[in-house]
Structures are given as C-alpha cells and as structure tokens.
C-alpha cells in the first residue's frame, strides 16, 4: 500500500450459536425450560416448512422458567470458541470491525458476552420480554417485513453496512446464515451452512474454529497492519 493510501475497511459478521458459542444455547434453553411439544416445531423449522420467526412465536408459550433461572443455566453451560477472544483482539489491533448477528435471543447472548469480557461487541438478535414471573414473549426488531422466515434478517444487517466497508466477511454454521452468506465477499462456513453453500454454489472456506479463520486471513494478508 502506497504512503498515504487509505486502508481498506473490513467488517466481519459472525453468527452466535454454534459459531462464537460452541454451545447452541437456544436449543439448550429449549431442552431445559420447555415442556414437550417444541420438537415438532423444531422439525418443521429444520425441514424448511416454517421460518424461525413463526417457530419462536409458537414455542414462546412452552417456556416454563424465570429470567433468573435461565441466566443461571446459561452461566453454567456457556462455552465460547476457545480461539474467539484471540481472534477478536487481533481484529481490534488491525482495525477490523466485528459484529455478531444472531437469530437467537438477546438475554443469553448479552450474558455470555459480558461473562467473557466481550460486552463491547455490538450484536443484533431477537428480543426476549420476560413478564409475570415465568411468562415470556419474543420480539423481532430486525425482521424483514417482505420475508416471513427469520426473526433477525442477517442479510438486511449485512447490506445495511455494505456501503461503509470495502469488504464484508461472514462466519456461520446454520440455516439462518445461508441468505447473508450469498451477499458476503468472503464466507467461512461449517456444518449446515457449509453443506448449503456447496449445494447452492456459494463460494466458501471451511473452518472448524476461529483459529482457522485467523490463520487463513493472516496468510492471505487480509488482517495485516
């Protein structure tokens, strides 16, 4: 890069459950704090018969736990990718912006980030409203009115930031990551997302953890100062 040249701006968007968090905390909470019956809703979601927004709306009435009980459970079960903190600090040093986009629930994402001293990371997710003891509802401030599938439209978040960056990188593993991956400049994928990318012809790099991503980007020169 020539002297005085502007350094390219890069944004990395990361999914949360199964990506930043090695535990799918949304499923863990459903298994622990709902009565039987949500499995059929989950089956319909995984089969593509319904989107996450409708699935969340239907499953909300199944929850039987208070916010305090759920947060205690989250604290005992949470695990983040062992290399994520290193990856995030490296991005900070290189001036690369990193944000989390999740179709999960805000209360446990916020708790996990704070517990791991990662509360400075901006995240976008569905919103949980606790009321009347163990009753809750789920709101979707980041939904796409033109699409009935996801609670949080990750594609919208990506494209809302597009004009501010020279390159947008996406990291994910699940169904809700398929749409945003198609609009990213570079995709790191595993599990469901990796298989979907291969089926759809979306170029991607397979990864197992954030160390793989750091090494790849560093070798390509993308994160060097």
Go through the domains of the chain in sequence order and give each one's CATH number. 10-220 (3.40.50.1000)
Distance CA 16, CA 18 (A): 6
| pLDDT, tens digit only, all 225 positions of the chain | 444 445 569 999 999 999 999 999 999 999 999 877 788 888 898 888 999 999 999 999 889 889 999 999 999 999 999 999 999 999 999 999 999 999 999 999 999 999 999 999 999 999 999 987 678 999 999 999 999 899 999 999 999 999 999 999 999 999 999 999 999 999 999 999 999 999 999 999 999 999 999 999 988 766 544
Contact, 107 vs 70, CB < 8 A? Answer: yes
Distance CA 196, CA 215 (A): 24
pLDDT, position 225: 44
What residues form DSSP beta bridges with 101? 124
């Amino acid at each position: 890069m020539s002297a005085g040249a502007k350094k390219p701006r890069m944004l990395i968007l990361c999914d949360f459950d199964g990506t930043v968090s090695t535990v799918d905390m949304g499923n863990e909470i459903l298994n622990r704090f709902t009565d039987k019956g949500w499995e059929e809703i989950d089956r319909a979601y995984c089969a593509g018969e319904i989107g996450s927004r409708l699935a969340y709306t239907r499953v909300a009435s199944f929850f039987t736990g208070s916010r305090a009980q759920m947060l205690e459970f989250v604290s005992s079960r949470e695990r983040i990718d062992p290399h994520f903190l290193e990856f995030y600090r490296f991005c900070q040093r290189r001036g690369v912006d990193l944000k989390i986009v999740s179709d999960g629930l805000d209360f446990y994402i916020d708790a996990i980030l704070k517990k791991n001293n990662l509360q400075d990371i901006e995240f976008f997710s569905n919103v949980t409203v606790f009321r009347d003891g163990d009753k809750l509802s789920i709101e979707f401030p980041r939904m796409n009115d033109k699409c009935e599938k996801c609670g949080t439209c990750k594609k919208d978040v990506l494209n809302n930031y597009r004009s501010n960056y020279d390159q947008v990188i996406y990291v994910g593993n699940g169904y809700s990551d398929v749409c945003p991956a198609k609009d990213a400049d570079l995709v790191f994928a595993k599990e469901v997302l990796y298989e979907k990318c291969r089926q759809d012809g979306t170029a991607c790099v397979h990864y197992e953890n954030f160390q793989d991503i750091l090494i790849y980007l560093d070798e390509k020169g993308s994160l060097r100062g």
